[in-house]
Amino acid sequence: MKLKAAALALPMFLVSCSEPRCQHQRAFDHWLFQQTWFIAETPGTENLGAAFGDTGGTLFVPRKIESFNYCANGRTLHVSYGKYWKHREEWSIVELDEKTLTLQFQNGAIYKYYRAGR
């Protein structure tokens, strides 16, 4: 029995060790990033795109994720969401300035968001 338990534990150990270690080392201006972004230059609830805080947020477009956590390594966001945060993705910040944010999602889709009132 002990051998079976050890054999089952080894794959679990290997999976947990292979996850990326996120140091939260940002290569972007977090003050620009941490806010509400819109899918059009005109802000409004019908144009909500995404909202980012220090370590989490909400995504409205391209799909609805009510709550996610993220950790940043460079310009890559390691995102987890869903029940028990079991869904994981990597999103890349392609461009970030005072007016726009461009994200590339894990599936290759690229979306441009606009900052409100700037």
Using DSSP, state whether 44 is helix, strand or coil: coil
Q: What is the CATH number of domain 21-115?
A: 2.40.128
pTM of the predicted model over 0.85:
no
Structural domain spans, the chain: 21-115
Tokens of 26: 């940002």
Q: pLDDT digit of tens for each residue in the chain (118 aa)? A: 454 444 444 333 333 333 456 777 899 999 999 999 999 999 999 999 999 999 999 999 999 999 999 999 999 999 999 999 999 999 999 999 999 999 999 999 999 999 986 5
CA distance 20 to 77: 11
Task: Give the C-alpha separation, 47 to 60, whole Å.
Answer: 9
Judge contact between 75 and 86, C-beta under 8 A. no
63/76 Cα distance (integer angstroms): 19
Contact between 103 and 52 (Cβ < 8 Å): no
